[in-house]
Amino acid sequence: MPELPEVETIARGLAKRVVGDVIESVWLGSKPEPLKSPAAEIEAALASKTILNVRRSGKHIVFDLADPVRKGMPAAQWIVHLGMTGRLLVCSAESEVAKHTHAILRLASGRELRFVDPRRFGRLAVIEKFAPPGAEPLSIPLTKFVALFRGRKTPIKSALLNQKLLSGVGNIYADEGLYRAKVRPRRRAASLTADELRLLHKGLKQVLQEAIRLGGSSISDYVDSEGQEGFFQLKHRVYGREGKPCQKCGTPIKRVVIAGRSSHYCPTCQK
């Protein structure tokens, strides 16, 4: 599932290509799973609207829209969650429509914005004003970050994946952030010292920012809005490296399962 860096990369790419364009018409497929809002409501909210901005909020892509008839007044927001295999592609109207295409927005520029999702875990919705449930990992102050984990008895890895605490952090970047903080994923969140939480706050931000610069991690299905893969998977220090030597100490990386999710760590470097 695309995490914060992948969603940020896609949102930035889309913003460069479709901001200022007008949605002339909307086609939605017959499969009900991707639609979190009723089809008629989505069509009405999007048709004839100008795309003011495309941005990331947590793991969601937010399209800020305006009604040209009302002189650019803000309209409802279009919210896209990519799920596991969702893609947003800007295509020429003449290009072949891919299998598993669930939405096509015809733009005034003559192009089309298409939502493709083979596994149908992605979601499309319209809402007046979207707000993610948790804090933004790239901007949360240290004091608030520390307060999130105070007294929590769950493993720190599970706490990092809790979207009600931090919106956007997923399996890859939780593992990589914990490695930089020298903390094992099974440690209870409440057991982390102030210094360990400071290192985790810093390390998590660093790994997210570096991943954004490299276009995210292409592990399986992920590509950006232009169909290009990311490169951060080449920089992973623990995620997906079970049995391979730690790049710092040479100890084989271990894999454990925490709450049904794979976690990777170095048993020497992380305590």
For the chain, give every domain's residue range: 4-127, 142-265
Residue 111 to residue 144: CA distance in whole angstroms: 43
The answer to whether the beta carbons of residues 230 and 218 sit under 8 Å apart is yes
Query: Catalytic amino acids?
Result: 2-3, 59, 261
User: Shortest CA distance to 127 belongs to which of 58, 47, 64, 84?
Assistant: 64
Report how far Cα 4 is from the mean position of its chain's Cα atoms: 4
The contacts of residue 88 (CB under 8 Å, 6+ apart) are 10, 14, 61, 80, 82, 113, 114, 115, 225
Residue 77 to residue 130: CA distance in whole angstroms: 7
User: Counting Cβ atoms within 10 Å, is residue 164 exposed (0-12), middle (13-18) or buried (19+)?
Assistant: exposed
Q: Which residue has the higher pLDDT, 71 or 210?
A: 210
pLDDT surpasses 90 at 75: no
The single residue listed with the structure tokens 């990311």 is: 230
CA–CA distances in Å: residue 176 to residues 113, 129, 202: 33, 32, 12
Over residues 134-179, the pLDDT tens digits come to 999 999 999 999 999 999 999 999 999 999 999 999 999 999 999 9
> Which CATH topology does 4-127 take?
N-terminal domain of MutM-like DNA repair proteins (3.20.190)
pLDDT surpasses 60 at 72: no
The answer to whether the beta carbons of residues 200 and 157 sit under 8 Å apart is no
Over residues 42-51, the pLDDT tens digits come to 999 999 999 9
The first and second tokens of residue 202, run together, are 């810093």
| 268 φ, ψ (degrees, to nearest 5) | -95, -50
**Least confident segment among 66-70, 108-112, 188-192:** 66-70
CATH number of 142-265: 1.10.8.50
The first and second tokens of residue 205, run together, are 């931000």
Over residues 221-270, the pLDDT tens digits come to 676 667 777 789 999 999 999 999 999 999 999 999 998 999 999 999 99
pLDDT-derived band at 73, boundaries 50, 70, 90: low
User: Counting Cβ atoms within 10 Å, is residue 159 exposed (0-12), middle (13-18) or buried (19+)?
Assistant: buried
The contacts of residue 259 (CB under 8 Å, 6+ apart) are 155, 157, 158, 161
User: Shortest CA distance to 108 belongs to which of 50, 67, 68?
Assistant: 50
